[in-house]
């Protein structure tokens, strides 16, 4: 039977869900590979069906899905794709989730609450995923929720390279919009060699109806202020922070965030905000009707493509960030 033995050659295969195929195609083009043809549909009762149109046996499979709204549908679709790959004998399955779903539910704040970020990791593992890849997790501890390797990618180099090419960072102050993002802002100051300021929200004891006062800790007068966060959802916090900075004499205010969730009133708030520019990446799709004049969208595809290449070649994902992180 030795004549039937085939050489053990690894085969990289890319798959995409239906949430944001444009990002997956951009990644595939950069890598010079094709996306595997997939038949996916919703039955009349909303159940999802998936079938791959070619053999995946023995492959190193990367399943790309961006978890935009409706998050639950796209999460379920990705889980079904992973299950299909496992049952079709893929050798290794990597879930590529640029925006990790339920990341903000990473701990219990009160009794009888779930830790949904952990549940999602368990679901991926049960479905058959061997590895996770994501960009700028809301909480670093999520890496420990998955029983297997987790590649935590940072969008900081992508965002900061753009900012350094457009602005004089020697006169810039990096601002954390609240106490929870100070660690992120600190990483930005290291990268840009800039000053740090923090916005602290408190209730005014002299005012009724729980009025929130924004105290700015740090020197922002006459400075270009860069508000940084991992995501912009409804944009309430970051727009209020921008107003507080302008009130305290900031020369101009720009924002940089990885994930443009842009839910509900975000478009109207950002459109009417004090921001000179709002810079995000394309980890999530932004429909044309949700875009505004001061919005800049940078591609995260080159970073993900390089990370997939390193994983496939058994290289070092960490090396992508060595030297400047």
Give the pLDDT confidence of 179-200 residue by residue, as tens digits.
889 999 999 999 999 999 999 8
Q: Is the pLDDT of residue 174 over 50?
A: yes
Answer yes or no: are the C-beta atoms of 282 and 23 closer than 8 Å: yes
CB neighbourhood size of 205 (10 A): 7
- Please state, in angstroms and rounded to a whole number, the distance separating the CA atoms of residues 94 and 109: 31
pLDDT class of 202 with cuts at 50, 70, 90: confident
**For 155-179, what is the mean pLDDT?**
96
Q: How many CA atoms, within 13 angstroms, populate the side-chain half-sphere of residue 322?
A: 5
- pLDDT band for position 205 (cuts 50, 70, 90): low
Catalytic residue among 86, 91, 201, 251: 201
The CATH number assigned to the domain with range 156-298 reads 3.40.50.2020
Distance CA 263, CA 15 (A): 27
pLDDT digits (tens, 9 = 90+) for 104-117: 999 999 999 999 99
Q: 133 forms bridges with which residues in the sheet?
A: 96, 151
Is CATH 3.40.50.2300 what the domain over 2-154+302-321 is classified as, yes or no? Answer: no
Cα 48 to the chain's mean position, in Å? 25
User: Which residues make beta-bridge pairs with 97?
Assistant: 134
Facing residues of 297 across strands? 280
Helix, strand, coil distribution of the chain in percent, nearest 5: 35, 25, 40
Res 201: pLDDT: 77
C-alpha span between 322 and 325 (Å, rounded): 7
- Range 247-253 average pLDDT: 96
Residue 69 in this model has a pLDDT that exceeds 60: yes
Helix intervals (H) in the chain: 21-31, 71-87, 116-127, 156-166, 182-192, 236-247, 266-271, 301-312
- Residue 83 confidence (pLDDT) above 70: yes
Answer whether 2-154+302-321 and 156-298 agree in fold.
yes
211 vs 148: which has the higher pLDDT: 148
89-142 pLDDT per residue, tens: 999 999 999 999 999 999 999 999 999 999 999 999 999 999 999 999 999 999
The pLDDT of 27-51, averaged and rounded, is 98
pLDDT confidence bin for 2, thresholds 50/70/90 = low
- 172's CB contacts (< 8 A; 6+ apart) are 192, 194, 195, 223, 224, 225, 226
Q: Is the pLDDT of residue 324 over 70?
A: no
DSSP one-letter code for 109: S
Known catalytic residue at 251: no
User: CA 203 from chain center: how many Å?
Assistant: 31
For residue 70, cis peptide bond before it (omega within 30 degrees of 0): yes
Residue 325, pLDDT above cutoff 50: no
* Max Cα distance, the chain (Å): 87
Give the C-alpha separation, 248 to 242, whole Å. 10
Q: Are 159 and 281 in contact (CB under 8 A)?
A: yes
Return the number of other C-beta atoms located less than 10 Å from residue 31's C-beta.
18
Q: In the structure encoding, which two tokens stand for residue 162, read together?
A: 């753009």
| Per-domain residue ranges of the chain | 2-154+302-321, 156-298
Q: Can you tell me whether residue 322 is helix, strand or coil? A: coil
Helix (H, G, I), strand (E, B) or coil at 217: strand
């Amino acid at each position: 039977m030795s004549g039937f033995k085939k050489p053990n050659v690894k085969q990289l295969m890319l798959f995409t869900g239906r949430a944001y195929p444009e990002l997956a195609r951009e990644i595939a083009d950069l890598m010079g590979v094709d996306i595997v043809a997939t038949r996916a549909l919703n039955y009349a009762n909303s159940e999802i069906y998936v079938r791959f149109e070619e053999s995946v046996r023995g492959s190193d499979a990367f399943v790309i899905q961006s978890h935009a709204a409706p998050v639950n549908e796209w999460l379920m679709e990705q889980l079904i794709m992973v299950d299909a790959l496992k049952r079709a004998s893929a050798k290794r399955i990597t879930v590529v989730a640029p925006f990790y779903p339920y990341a903000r539910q990473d701990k219990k704040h009160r009794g009888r609450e779930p830790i949904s970020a952990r549940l999602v990791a368990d679901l991926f593992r049960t479905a058959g995923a061997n590895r996770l890849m994501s960009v700028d997790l809301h909480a670093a501890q999520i890496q420990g929720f998955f029983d297997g390797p987790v590649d935590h990618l940072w969008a900081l180099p992508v965002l900061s390279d753009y900012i350094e090419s457009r602005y004089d960072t020697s006169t810039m102050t990096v601002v954390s919009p609240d106490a929870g993002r100070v660690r992120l802002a600190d990483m930005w100051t290291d990268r840009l060699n800039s000053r740090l300021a923090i916005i602290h929200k408190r209730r005014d004891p002299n005012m009724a109806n729980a009025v929130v006062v924004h105290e700015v800790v740090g020197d922002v007068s006459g400075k270009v202020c860069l508000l940084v966060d991992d995501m912009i959802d409804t944009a309430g916090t970051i727009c209020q922070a921008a107003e507080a900075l302008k009130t305290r004499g900031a020369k101009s205010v720009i924002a940089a965030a990885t994930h443009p969730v842009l839910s509900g009133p975000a478009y109207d708030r950002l459109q009417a905000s004090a921001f000179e520019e709002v810079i995000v990446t394309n980890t999530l799709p932004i429909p044309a009707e949700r875009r505004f004049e001061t919005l800049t969208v940078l591609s995260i595809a080159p970073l993900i493509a390089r990370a997939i290449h390193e994983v496939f070649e058994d290289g070092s994902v960490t090396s992508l960030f060595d030297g400047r992180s």
